[in-house]
Amino acid sequence: MLYINCPHCGLRSQNEFAYGGDATVKRPELNKEISDQEWDNFVYLRKSPRGKHLELWHHISGCRQWIKVERDTSTHEIFKTYKANEAIE
Amino acid sequence: MSQDFRLDNVGMVNREKKISFKFNGKKYFGFEGDTIASALIANGVHLVGRSFKYHRPRGFFGVGVDEPYAILQLDRNNERDPNIRATEQEIFEGLEVKSVNCWPSVNFDIGAINNFLKMFFPAGFYYKTFMWPPSFWYKIYEPFIRMAAGFGEASIKHDKERYEHKYEYCDLLITGSGPSGLASAYAAAKNGARVILAEDKPRFGGSLLTSDVNIGNQTGVEWTEKIIAELKSMPNVTVKNRSQVFGYYDHNMLVMSERISDHLPKTQKYLPKQRLWYIRANEVLISSGSIERPLVFGNNDTPGVMLSSAAKEYMKVYGVLVGKKPLIFTNNDSGYETAIEFKKNGVNPIILDTRSNPSSDIITEAKNLNIEIRFSYVVVAAKGYKKVKSADIAKISDDKKELFNIENIECDCICVSGFWTPSIHLASQSGNKSKFNEKIDAFVPDKSKQKENTIGSANGIFTLEETIKDAFDKGFDVSNKITEKNNKVSVPTVVEKKSTDHDKFWCVPLPKGKSYKRFLDFQNDVAVSDIELALREGFRSIEHVKRYTTLGMATDQGKTSNLNGLQLVSDIENKVVPQVGHTTFRPPYTPVSIGAIVGREVGKHSKPTRKSPMHSWHEKNNAVFVDAGVWLRPRYYKQGNEGLFEASKREAKNVRQNVGVCDVTTLGKIDVKGPDAAEFLNRVYTNAWLKLPVGKARYGVMLREDGIVMDDGTTTRISENHYHMTTTTAQAANVLSHLEYYLQLVWPELNVNVVSTTEQWAGAAIAGPNSRKLLMKLFPNLDVSNEGLPFMGYKEADLFGVPAKIYRISFSGELAYEINVESDNGYFMWEKIMEVGKEFQIQPYGTEALSTLRIEMGHVAGSELDGRTIPYDASLEGLVSKKKDFIGKRSLNRSAFTSTDREKLVGVVPIDKTTSIPEGSYIVKDPKAKLPNPKLGHVSASCWSVEYDNPFSLAIIKDGKNMIGQKLFAMSPLKNKTIPVEIVSSHYVDPEGKRVRS
Ligand SMILES: [Zn+2]
Q: How far is the CA of A6 from the centre of ligand 1 (A)?
A: 5
DSSP E strand stretches across B224-270 = 237-240, 243-249, 253-259
Range of the domain at A83: 1-24+46-89
Tell me which of B76 and B314 has the higher pLDDT.
Answer: B314
CA distance A84 to chain B (A): 6
pTM over 0.95: no
Question: Which residues of chain A have a CB within 8 Å of the CB of B754?
Answer: none
Residue A53 lies in a domain: yes
Q: At what angle do helices B308-316 and B334-344 cross, to 10 degrees?
A: 40
Contact B251 A76 (CB under 8 A): yes
Q: Which CATH number is A50's domain given?
A: 3.30.2270.10
CA distance B450 to chain A (A): 9
How do residues B343-356 score in pLDDT, each as one tens digit?
999 999 999 999 99
User: CB count, 10 Å around CB of B214?
Assistant: 18
Contact A3 B683 (CB under 8 A): no
Q: What are the backbone dihedrals phi and psi of residue A67, each rounded to the nearest 5 degrees, phi first? A: -125, 165
How do residues B669-708 score in pLDDT, each as one tens digit?
999 999 999 999 999 999 999 999 999 999 999 999 999 9
Amino acid at site B790: P
DSSP B422: E
User: Among residues of chain B, what percentage have pLDDT more than 90?
Assistant: 83
Please state which of the ranges B18-22, B557-561, B771-775, B895-899 shows the lowest mean pLDDT: B557-561
Could you give the 3-state DSSP secondary structure of residue B652?
helix
- What mean pLDDT do residues B422-437 have? 94
Residue A59 lies in a domain: yes
Q: Give every CB contact of residue B151 below 8 A, 6+ residues apart in sequence.
A: B49, B52, B71, B82, B83, B100, B101, B555
Closest alpha carbon within chain A to B707: A43
Query: Which domains does chain B possess?
Result: 14-115 (3.10.20.440), 165-290+422-486 (3.50.50.60), 294-418+499-510 (3.50.50.60), 518-584 (1.10.10.1100), 900-997 (2.40.30.110)
How do residues A3-29 score in pLDDT, each as one tens digit?
999 999 999 999 999 999 999 999 999
**Beta-ladder partners of B258:** B243, B275
Q: What is the pLDDT of residue B143?
A: 63
- What mean pLDDT do residues B39-54 have? 89
By residue count, chain A amounts to 89
Residue B114 has pLDDT above 80, yes or no: no
Please state which of the ranges B71-85, B157-171, B212-226, B404-418 shows the lowest mean pLDDT: B71-85
Span between the terminal Cα atoms of chain B, in Å: 92
Q: How far is the CA of B478 from the centre of ligand 1 (A)?
A: 30
Question: Which residues of chain A have a CB within 8 Å of the CB of B746?
Answer: 27
User: Among residues of chain A, what percentage have pLDDT more than 90?
Assistant: 93
Question: Which residues of chain A have a CB within 8 Å of the CB of B280?
Answer: 3, 13
Residue B893 has pLDDT above 70, yes or no: yes
Tell me which of B75 and B675 has the higher pLDDT.
Answer: B675
Q: What is the pLDDT of residue B322?
A: 97
DSSP B471: H
- Mean pLDDT for chain B overall: 93
- Tell me how many domains chain A contains: 1
- What mean pLDDT do residues B926-946 have? 93
Mutation for A interface: B739, B745, B891, most A CBs within 10 A: B745
Q: What is the dihedral of CA A72, A75, A81, A85, to 10 degrees?
A: 30
Q: At what angle do helices B179-190 and B464-483 cross, to 10 degrees?
A: 30
Report the C-alpha gap between B650 and B637 in whole angstroms: 10
Amino acid at site B563: L
Q: What are the backbone dihedrals phi and psi of residue B594, each rounded to the nearest 5 degrees, phi first? A: -60, -40
Contact A2 B250 (CB under 8 A): yes
Q: What are the backbone dihedrals phi and psi of residue B507, each rounded to the nearest 5 degrees, phi first? A: -130, 120
Could you give the 3-state DSSP secondary structure of residue B940?
strand
How do residues B530-547 score in pLDDT, each as one tens digit?
999 999 999 988 889 888
Q: What is the pLDDT of residue B109?
A: 67
Question: Which residues of chain B have a CB within 8 Å of the CB of A84?
Answer: 744-745, 748
Report the C-alpha gap between B350 and B372 in whole angstroms: 5
Q: Give every CB contact of residue B10 below 8 A, 6+ residues apart in sequence.
A: B315, B316, B319, B345
How do residues B583-636 score in pLDDT, each as one tens digit?
778 899 999 999 999 999 888 888 899 999 999 999 999 999 999 989 999 999
Question: Cis bond leading into B588, ω under 30°?
Answer: yes
Of B27, B24, B28, B13, give the one whose Cα is nearest residue B47: B24
DSSP A6: E
**Beta-ladder partners of B21:** B28
Which H or E run contains B479? helix B464-483
Amino acid at site B365: E
Report the C-alpha gap between B142 and B919 in whole angstroms: 36
Report the C-alpha gap between B272 and A33 in whole angstroms: 62
Residue B1 has pLDDT above 60, yes or no: no
Per-residue confidence at B450, pLDDT binned at 50, 70, 90?
A: very high
What ipTM was reported for this prediction?
0.98
Per-residue confidence at B78, pLDDT binned at 50, 70, 90?
A: confident
Residue B551 has pLDDT above 80, yes or no: yes
Q: How far is the CA of A83 from the centre of ligand 1 (A)?
A: 10
CA distance A7 to chain B (A): 14
**CB-closest option in A1, A43, A58 to B891:** A43
Residue A13 lies in a domain: yes
Residue B135 has pLDDT above 70, yes or no: no
Q: What is the pLDDT of residue B76?
A: 80
Farthest-apart Cα atoms in chain A, separation? 43
Residue B115 has pLDDT above 70, yes or no: no
How do residues B498-517 score in pLDDT, each as one tens digit?
888 899 999 999 999 999 99
Residue B111 has pLDDT above 80, yes or no: no
Do the strands B26-32 and B14-23 form a parallel or antiparallel pair, or are they unpaired? antiparallel
Question: Which residues of chain A have a CB within 8 Å of the CB of B745?
Answer: 56, 66, 84
Question: Which residues of chain A have a CB within 8 Å of the CB of B252?
Answer: 3
Report the C-alpha gap between B681 and B671 in whole angstroms: 12
- How far is residue B12 from each of residues B16, B18, B347, B907, measured CA to CA in Å? 11, 14, 20, 79
Mutation for B interface: A14, A36, A41, A43, most B CBs within 10 A: A43
Report the C-alpha gap between A62 and A17 in whole angstroms: 8
CA distance B608 to chain A (A): 14
How do residues B197-215 score in pLDDT, each as one tens digit?
999 999 999 999 999 999 9
Residue B122 has pLDDT above 70, yes or no: no
User: Among residues of chain B, what percentage have pLDDT more than 70?
Assistant: 95
- What mean pLDDT do residues B872-887 have? 96
Q: What is the pLDDT of residue B139?
A: 65
- CB–CB of B873/B931 below 8 Å? no
Q: Give every CB contact of residue B131 below 8 A, 6+ residues apart in sequence.
A: none
Residue B153 has pLDDT above 80, yes or no: no
- What mean pLDDT do residues B987-995 have? 94
Residue A30 lies in a domain: no
Q: What is the pLDDT of residue B140?
A: 64
Report the C-alpha gap between B235 and B536 in whole angstroms: 60
Residue B148 has pLDDT above 60, yes or no: no
User: CB count, 10 Å around CB of B958?
Assistant: 15
Per-residue confidence at B138, pLDDT binned at 50, 70, 90?
A: low
Q: What is the pLDDT of residue B633?
A: 97
Residue A83 lies in a domain: yes
Q: What is the pLDDT of residue B131?
A: 57
Rg (CA), chain A: 14
Which H or E run contains B732? helix B732-741
How do residues B774-822 score in pLDDT, each as one tens digit?
999 999 999 999 999 999 999 999 999 999 999 999 999 999 999 999 9
Residue A31 lies in a domain: no
Contact B890 A28 (CB under 8 A): yes
Of B306, B313, B358, give the one whose Cα is nearest residue B329: B306
Q: Give every CB contact of residue B97 below 8 A, 6+ residues apart in sequence.
A: B21, B22, B23, B24, B36, B72, B73, B74, B75, B84, B86, B89
- What mean pLDDT do residues A54-73 have? 97
- What mean pLDDT do residues B403-424 have? 97
